[in-house]
Amino acid sequence: MTVFDLLFILLFFLTVFSLLAATWFAFHHEPSRARKILTSILAGATVYFAIVIVVSLTSSPRVLRVGDCQWSDDMCFSIEGYQLLPRKTGTEYRVEMKIANQGRGRSQRENNLVMYLTDEQGRRFNPLTDGSEIPFNILLEPQESAVASRSYVLPENDSGVGAVITHEGGFPIRWLIIGYDAWFRQPPVVPLR
């Protein structure tokens, strides 16, 4: 948890308390005080989201190494390794992602997790699937991990290839917290070649 996570939690509870106060004033025939509180909430939210957007615009994408962990609460995801397999048309990348539950209290899974490859032109390459792969949202016991492999086919001699692990779909909480890979910032990439 970062300082920005704590700031978001603090501001969330401050906003809830302020909304409750504005509601109380509105029901007790003090609409001017309720309006002042709502105006302050709107101004604060505008400043906060301006900061979130500016940080996302000015931050460069993180470059990770094979084995570096990306965290989502108690869950850790990392590219553990890859193999290049020649094909008649293009090159096949077999990429292994480790998914680990580092929590101590309960079984967990991570929904909406995706892994794809990119090249220096910014093209996205999704995995080939045959239905027998370990799913990314596998339920893991505390301190348990699993390795999920995916295959990708890229054009021959493609350069600047990198692996990306990110979330797609679901509620985008990362869009609300300063410094996360959201808005205009690209997700972290692990260079493969």
Q: pLDDT tens digits, residue range 21-60? A: 999 999 999 999 999 999 999 999 999 999 999 998 898 8
Provide the 8-state DSSP code for 175: G
Q: How confident is the model at residue 1 (pLDDT cuts 50, 70, 90)?
A: low
At residue 86, the pLDDT reads 83
Compute the half-sphere exposure of residue 41: CA atoms within 13 Å on the CB side of its CA: 18
The pTM of the full predicted model, rounded to 2 decimals, is 0.81
The domain locations on the chain are 3-58, 70-191
- What is the CATH code of the structural domain delimited by 70-191? 2.60.40
Q: pLDDT tens digits, residue range 92-146? A: 999 999 999 999 889 999 999 999 999 999 899 999 988 889 999 999 999 999 9
Q: For residue 73, is it left (φ>0), alpha (ψ between -120 and 50) or beta?
A: left
Spatial contact of 153 and 125, defined as CB atoms under 8 Å apart:
yes
